[in-house]
Amino acid sequence: MKFLHKKSDGKPTWMILLGLTGMLLGFLVITQGRYFTNYVETEGRDSNENIFRKIQVLKTGNDELEEEIKVLNEQLADLDDQTLSIQSIENEIAKNKIISGNVDIFGPGIELQIDTEINDIWFVDLTNEFFAAGAEAIAINKIRLVDSVSGFDALPNGQVMLNSIILKPPYKFEVIGDKKALQGGIENPYGIIDKMKTTFENFSYTLTEKDRIDMVIK
């Protein structure tokens, strides 16, 4: 069987092709636009996240640094406390050595000479006044007052014995410590010197400041 065909002028085919080409171009433009938008959004978000991450890292680093500084400060405070404790212990050891008389010592102080004969109670009171004024060491007639000394003993004839030695005037007190404080401690108004002046007729004494007093082990 044979068919009869109507001859075409070509216009419908050209229009269809043109339409398809336009649709394809439109699709490509839309696709490219969407891709660009997604790319910008993605890159922008990643950049923000990277910045945020960097900020987080920096903050974490600062926090760790502050914590390390805190720990170091605590360690330093502990070390200072330990140093103070060690220094305090060493000071106590030095004081004990001085009190025990196991070391030679020297330093500024005063020399008090009493020419009037006095009894044992005045020796005790004077010694207490000197220590209250900050005396570091005391010697009477070259006998150093240390923990091994038995104390002041009153004899029947009114004399005073110290460490098995009878004390006779003039009594010389050598005292190491702050000169002004020691002098003020016994010469203050109504203090022990004023009391002795009132108690003893013609009471005589001499007080001298010394830049250096030596007390040696015997």
Q: Nearest to residue 140, comparing CAs of 161, 157, 155?
A: 161
Query: Which residues, in sequence order, are CB contacts of 207 under 8 Å at separation 6+?
Result: 110, 111, 112, 113, 183, 186, 187
Looking at the fold, whether 163 and 128 belong to one and the same domain comes out as: yes
CA angle 109, 115, 116 (to 5 degrees): 125
pTM of this prediction? 0.57
- Considering only CA atoms, give the Rg of the chain: 51
pLDDT over threshold 50, residue 205: yes
Q: Is 185 helix (H, G, I), strand (E, B) or coil?
A: helix
**94 lies in some domain:** yes
Range of the domain at 162: 105-215
- Token code pair at residue 58: 């920096």
pLDDT over threshold 70, residue 43: no
Query: Which residues, in sequence order, are CB contacts of 181 under 8 Å at separation 6+?
Result: 133, 134
CA atoms within 13 A on the CB side of 178: 8
Choice among 9-18, 94-103, 113-122 with the minimum mean pLDDT: 9-18
Looking at the fold, whether 109 and 198 belong to one and the same domain comes out as: yes
**79 lies in some domain:** yes
pLDDT over threshold 70, residue 32: no
Looking at the fold, whether 126 and 92 belong to one and the same domain comes out as: no
- What is the total count of domains within the chain? 2
User: d(Cα 196, Cα 192) in Å, to the nearest integer?
Assistant: 6
CA angle 88, 93, 96 (to 5 degrees): 125
Would you state the pLDDT for residue 58?
A: 55
User: d(Cα 166, Cα 160) in Å, to the nearest integer?
Assistant: 6
